[in-house]
Structure 1
Amino acid sequence: MQRQQASAPAATIHARNIGGIGETEVTFEPGVTILVGRNATNRTSFLQAVMAALGSGNVAMKGDADEAEVTLELGEETYTRTFSRRDGGGERGGDPYLDEPTLAELFAFLLESNEARRAVATNADLRELIMRPVDTDEIESEIDRLQDRRETLEAELDAIDDRKGELRELEDRRETLREEIEATKAELEETEAELDAADGDVAARREEQSELEDRLAELREKRAELDDVRYELETEQESLAALETERRECESELEALSDDPDADADGIDARLRELRERKGELESQVNELQSVIRFNEGMLDDDGAAVPAELAGSGDESVTDKLVDDSVTCWTCGTAVEPGQIESTVEQLREHSQSKVGEVDRLEDEIEELQSEKREIERTERERERLERRLGELDDEIEATEATVEELRDRRESLTGEIERVEAAVDELEEEEYGDVLELHKTANELEYELGRLETDLEDVEAEIADAEERIGEEEEVRDELDDVADRIERLRTRIERIEREAVDSFNDHMASVLGLLDYDNLDRIWIERVEQEVRKGRRKETERAFELHVVRTTDSGAAYEDTVDHLSESEREVTGLVFALAGYLVHDVSETVPFVLLDSLEAIDSVRIAALVDYFADHAQHLLVALLPEDAAELDDGHERVTEI
């Protein structure tokens, strides 16, 4: 983004009762706006007012006010934020610029207490800060869903391959059936021709032949019925064998799901409640500590801010005394103290806050592990219930199938007896002179039955061929979807890595550029390396990616060596923290969300380097607001807009 954009609108801030500000209104154009003044001239309070209008909640009200308000006019749009004290607590309202200010608070609101900016000084987890705005849980969940879909599609392709093999067998079977039908038709025509010739010789005995044909027709029907029963019996027996196999498999799976004596879902729930309550208490303490830290910083800068209402309490005990063990006499009790004493207290509060944050992280790890154990217990229980339910269904199906098999066996035995009876009757009707004719009739009946069976089988095979061809025709569509799913999985898997890589590359590139501009003695390079490290999560050890910060210096003789972050000067540390925040700003495209970058508390950096750093940051924001002391502001380009009264 260029230093200024002609299309970017001017901004007007109207603030009332924010920090040390009673009421003020300031208008500034796009580009660099310098808030010039000594300490306690409400420059930080004004930056907090801008933050409030943009959506931040890290804002302190004026100590003697019950209500506060900020309005931001940006072009034709107007955004508001209101604050009020109610029953010892604070309420927020209005319609700010951002609904969710997390990105801006991390990478655009770069006041002294900004978490990303202070990450280097506090040895914070740099990777966690960069990845915090990314919903990694949602990404992993989507990957799991897509992997399930991929397995389904792969199974479909396997089934299609199986159908290809079946299709070849079906086509062979169809050809065989067609040949058998043609052969049977030819044999039947030949037999019927012989019958026509034989019937002429026995025309006088039609009555006897009619009775015999009736018997033969009955015999044909019985045999057809017996064949159907045998087919049904074979089918039911196959079904029974399949059901019994499935029951054995279910019983094996159920047996494998043995109860875990250590699995105690109720105990885990109780422990989770305990840990969440403790985590909530710690987070509340951290929030209170951060409010006190911000207020103390405001006191040092503005000399006009007051204790936020949400930290005010009753009784003689001070807020600071409630949060740390060391007792310090300060503004909370009305006694005048040296600024150095307040700075010392603020540093203690920061260290105490960092300790609390570490304990919160440990609790989050334990909560995550317990939740994982609980999900596994619930999954096992659901699987056990499913298997037990399926076993019950299988028992019912097996019982019904066994009854059907027994019924079909009885029917088969009955039909066999009836056929034997009809065959005996046919034998009685056969006389020597009609033996050939009767044999021809029997042969014709059998051929007609066989022809009907073959034609039915052919219809079934052709239907299966059509189904197989239709299924095989879906192969390209399934493969296209499988390729798409695989691409989406790969994109999701590489998204986190891409953000990490871009953050590291961005930091390293900008750090190299900034160091080249600022020209620190014997400081050659500050760079971040992506590494993998083993960490303990509860009782397990896991490998996680991390960002490792390196410092390279040069001796007087020109030899390069790697130094530690602890040896960075305050100026070098501040610059490194600001560049890390800028990397996060660029990687997450924060400029597309909020057009402001705020800088404060740059006194640790000398004036010339501040000027170079401001010019560098100005290339990446529509509005860059910088709070500077007069002597530092004097080094900046006279063309930058300046605000001297707030």
Structure 2
Amino acid sequence: MSDRTLHLELENIGGIEHEELSITAGPTFIQGPNAANKTSFLRGLLFALGSSSVPIRSGTDEARAVLSAGDKRIERVARRTDAGIETSGEAWVSDADDITLLERFAGLLETNSLRSAVARNEGVESLLKEPMDIEALEAERSELMARKRELTNEIESAGDVESRLEDRKRELAEKRDHLDELESTLEELYEEQDTTKTDGALQKLRDERADVRSNEAECETQIEQLEAAIDRLEERADEIDDELEDARAAVEETDIKSLKQERESARAELDDVTERLGVLQSVLTANREMVDSEFTGALGRNSGLMGDEVTCWACGRSAPTEDLEETIEDLTALVKAEKRRKREREPEIEELSERIEEVRRSEQDIQRLETEKQDVEQKLSSRRDSLNERRDQLEEIRDRLSELDDEIDDRAADQRSEQSELTDEIEETRVEIETLRRDITRLEETCDSLRETRTDLERKRDEVDELSGEITSLTDRIENLESELRTVFNETMDELLDALEFERIERVWLDGEFDLVVAREVDGRTQSDSIEHLAESEREMIGLVLALAGFVTYDVDEVTPVLVLDSLGAFDAERTRRLVDYFADETEYLVATTHPESAVDTEFDTVSFEQPVQN
């Protein structure tokens, strides 16, 4: 423990008008009778640390808490306004998730949500699992899966690039071999032609015609490629329109704003049901104690001519036992009805969340498809313009070929000899060579493009593999997180119970459904039991042990330096000492309240509170 001292100053909090106290490192016990404002002091301390609520003293409009340690000083103020209680000032703990950990596992007052849930025999699963933030993990997984689908679609649309590249390389090699053969043949023809004299003007025309024919073949090839590309793009545009129509229909059929409002309404109703259930459980427990116990919860029991009567501990009035039993039956029915409503609401909220996520995925698909559609339309426009240009060019080439044929025919008519046949063969060979060279250039460019595509696909496949690993890891993490959490909670509760050495409670653990199970000694034998069969004092003790286990499990000491405990009536002096020893390395400051008659080890700091004097 460090030598730092916390100084706390409170004004108008609960029943406190003004109070100042210095808290040294280690355990500090606040002793005092009921109504001595011990709990108000703890709530003021928690408010300074970051708790979202604080009771403002009756008759005042503003409460203040100042907490300082060394050079650090924080001040928080709560004010009454027409809109409710407003708070200002920066707390010791400011992160929303950290505040949840503080309130649930470090601020262990009797009203603590986890302690209250155990005392009322309510489920604790959501309270224990909430800090894990599984929704954030699932959202991250959905984002990774969307990226993986996008990459997979791109890979599939590219087709078998490796096979196409091998085909083009094989075709390129064949054309290069053929080109070598034709160039050798042309040299032989030229050597043969040199032995005779030919008409220079006719040869010039034939050379030009060879070039024009080569241009014609090249232009025809380009037109065929453009027409095929346009067909593919038009087919893809139709597919995109169909996919867009389906995605838009999915979005338009669902009002996501209404779904969100419906989910918020369901959550609000669930919160209301939970709150009502807590109140009903408390009232039901109090009424049962007045009927079943001769001492606890009642001032006394009287028998008269009209039947047994019970005097209420709260108001001092007498009421027939039959009326209380009737009230208990009504309350029991109400508790069952509220529990049923709670079970019905929870799956409804999950279904609404899934529908909202489906709409969001459809909206993402719409955005992706619209971008792809725009790209396809731009490519179609460009390809159609190029096709029209090539068709016009082909028409001009064919017109020129017709002119050249006429001119060559006119000149050839004057020259009929063996030379004419040789010249025609040379011309055809030259046309074939020029066409081959253009084919080779086009194939080389195609191979380069396919190699780039192959490299890009390899990168995308690597990214898909990496995404698959991350998705699997996240899925395993989500599935295993609950099991790991349950294991750590159980191990910590085992350690706490071993340290505290309760005689009748041998073990407490969370089962697969996060329900609390107790192993206790009954008539000399150890048997498993559920929380609902335990006495209220035993449930109070187990609720505190579970909350303390949460403090250790979630490393709450890294969030707040203070562990706050209200009413350690379930622990005697020896168990209190063991509890303090256990948490000596878990928290820097431990502040707890006890009654004056509770024995506290003299080595611990003790502060006495007295009941305020009534004016």
Which TM class, normalised by the smaller chain length?
Answer: 0.7 to 0.9
Offset at residue 285 of structure 1 (A): 9.9
The one-letter amino acid of 2:515's match is E
Q: Give 1:525's match in structure 2, choosing from 502, 507, 512.
A: 507
Aligned to 1:573: 539
Q: 1:52 to 1:354 in 2, by over 3 A?
A: farther
Secondary structure of the residue aligned to 2:508 is: strand
Deviations along 1:231-266, one digit per CA (max 9) or x if unpaired, are 133123313432453355356557867968x97545
Residue 10 of structure 1 is matched in structure 2 by: 5
1:592 is displaced (CA, Å) by: 0.7
| Residue 587 of structure 1: aligned partner | 553
Alignment of 1:404-553 (within 5 A): 419=401, 422-423=404-405, 425-430=407-412, 434-473=416-455, 478=460, 481-530=463-512, 546-553=513-520
Contact 1:32/1:623 (8 A) holds in 2: yes
- Mapped to 2, the partners of 1:417 and 1:78 lie a distance apart of 93
1:133-153 per-position Cα deviation (integer Å, ceiling 9, x unaligned): 343332222111212333445
Shift of 1:113: 0.7
Question: Which residue identity lines up with residue 438 of structure 2 in the other structure?
Answer: T
Match of 1:67 among 46, 62, 67: 62
User: Which of 156, 160, 172 is 2:170 aligned to?
Assistant: 172
Cα distance in 2, alignment partners of residues 219 and 601 from structure 1: 108
Query: Structure 2 matches for 1:207-246, cutoff 5 A?
Result: 209-246=199-236
Q: Secondary structure at the residue paired with 2:203?
A: helix
CA distance in 2, matches of 1:471, 1:493: 32
User: Does the aligned pair in 1 maintain the 2:14–2:57 contact within 8 Å?
Assistant: yes
- Equivalent in the alignment of 2:186: 188
CA distance in 2, matches of 1:552, 1:437: 114
How far did residue 547 of structure 1 move?
A: 1.1
Give the Cα separation in 1 of the matches to 2:450 and 2:379. Answer: 29
CA distance change for structure 1 residues 248 and 577 in 2, over 3 Å: closer, same or farther? same
User: Contact (CA 8 Å) 1:55, 1:97: kept in 2 or not?
Assistant: yes
Are the equivalent residues in 2 in contact too, given 1:15–1:49 (CA < 8 A)? yes
1:577 deviates by 1.4
String of CA shifts for 1:274-311, please: whole Å, max 9, x gaps: 774686588689889999x99xxxxxxxxxxxxxxxxx
Q: Is the 8 A contact 2:54 2:78 kept in 1?
A: no
Secondary structure, counterpart of 2:131 in structure 1: coil
Q: Letter of the aligned partner of 1:105 in structure 2?
A: E
Deviation, structure 1 residue 103: 1.3
Amino acid at match of 1:512: D
Secondary structure at the counterpart of residue 197 of structure 1: coil
1:631 counterpart letter in structure 2: E
Deviates further, 439-448 or 372-381: 372-381
2:33 equivalent among 34, 38, 50: 38
Mapped to 1, the partners of 2:454 and 2:134 lie a distance apart of 38
Mapped to 1, the partners of 2:592 and 2:333 lie a distance apart of: 27
- Shift of the 594–40 alpha-carbon distance from structure 1 to 2, 3 Å rule, reads same
Name the residue aligned to 1:49: 44
Partner of 1:118: 116
Per-residue deviation at 1:594?
0.5
Match of 2:565 in 1: 599
Does residue 615 of structure 1 match 2:581? yes
For structure 1, which segment, 352-361 or 39-48, has the greater mean C-alpha deviation from structure 2 after superposition?
352-361
Contact 1:52/1:70, CA 8 A, preserved across alignment: yes
Partner secondary structure for residue 552 of structure 1: strand
- Residue type of the partner of 2:167? E
Question: AA paired with 1:80?
Answer: E
Show the counterpart of 1:98.
Answer: 93
The aligned residue for residue 320 of structure 1 is none
> In structure 2, do the counterparts of structure 1 residues 91 and 508 end up closer, same or farther at CA, with 3 Å as the change threshold?
same
Q: Which of 8-17 and 426-435 deviates more?
A: 426-435
Using the size of structure 1 for normalisation, the TM-score is 0.74
Match of 1:631 in 2: 597
Q: State the SS of the aligned residue for 1:512.
A: helix
What residue is the counterpart of 1:306 in the other structure? none
Cα deviation digits, residues 608-637 of structure 1 (max 9, x gap) = 4444334334442111111011332x2x43
Q: Which amino acid aligns with 1:599?
A: L
- Alpha-carbon separation, structure 2, partners of 1:556 and 1:584: 32
Give 1:355 deviation, angstroms: 8.5
Question: Structure 1 unaligned runs (5+)?
Answer: 203-208, 295-329, 331-335, 531-545
**In 2, distance between residues paired with 1:155 and 1:57?**
48
Cα offset, 1:66, TM superposition: 2.5
- Secondary structure in 1 matching 2:168: helix
Partner of residue 79 from structure 1, selected from 74, 85, 93: 74
Report how far residue 339 of structure 1 moved: 12
Is 1:22 the counterpart of 2:17? The answer is yes
Aligned residues: 571
Distance in 2 between the 1:391 and 1:470 partners? Answer: 24
Instruction: Point out the more displaced range, 103-112 or 500-509.
Output: 500-509
Q: CA deviation at 1:497?
A: 4.2
Aligned residue type for 2:178? E
Q: Which secondary structure state, in structure 2, belongs to the residue aligned with residue 65 of structure 1?
A: coil
What is the CA-CA distance between 1:165 and the residue it aligns to?
Answer: 2.9
SS in structure 1 at match of 2:63: strand
SS at structure 1 position matched to 2:183:
helix
Distance 1:550 1:139, change over 3 A: same
Does the residue aligned with 1:120 lie in a helix, a strand or coil?
helix
SS state of the match for residue 228, structure 2?
A: helix
Give, as a single letter, the amino acid of the residue that structure 2 aligns with 1:30: A
Question: How far apart in 2 are the matches of 1:167 and 1:432?
Answer: 51
Q: Secondary structure at the match of 1:23?
A: strand
Structure 2: 5+ residue stretches without partners: 283-311, 611-615
Change (3 A) 1:287 1:645: same
Amino acid at match of 2:486: V
**Equivalent in the alignment of 1:642:** 606
Amino acid at match of 1:220: A
Which letter maps to 2:556? V
1:478-510 deviations in whole A, cap 9, x for unaligned? 565445434433443344445423431222122
Q: Deviations over 1:286-345 (max 9, x none)?
A: 889999x99xxxxxxxxxxxxxxxxxxxxxxxxxxxxxxxxxxx9xxxxx945999xx99
Residue identity opposite 1:148 in structure 2: A
User: Structure 1: which amino acid aligns with 2:59?
Assistant: D
**TM superposition score normalised by structure 2:** 0.77
Work out the percentage of aligned pairs sharing the same amino acid: 30
Deviations 1:70-94 (A, max 9, x none): 1111222111111223348333222
Distance 1:350 1:483, change over 3 A: farther
Q: CA deviation at 1:432?
A: 8.3
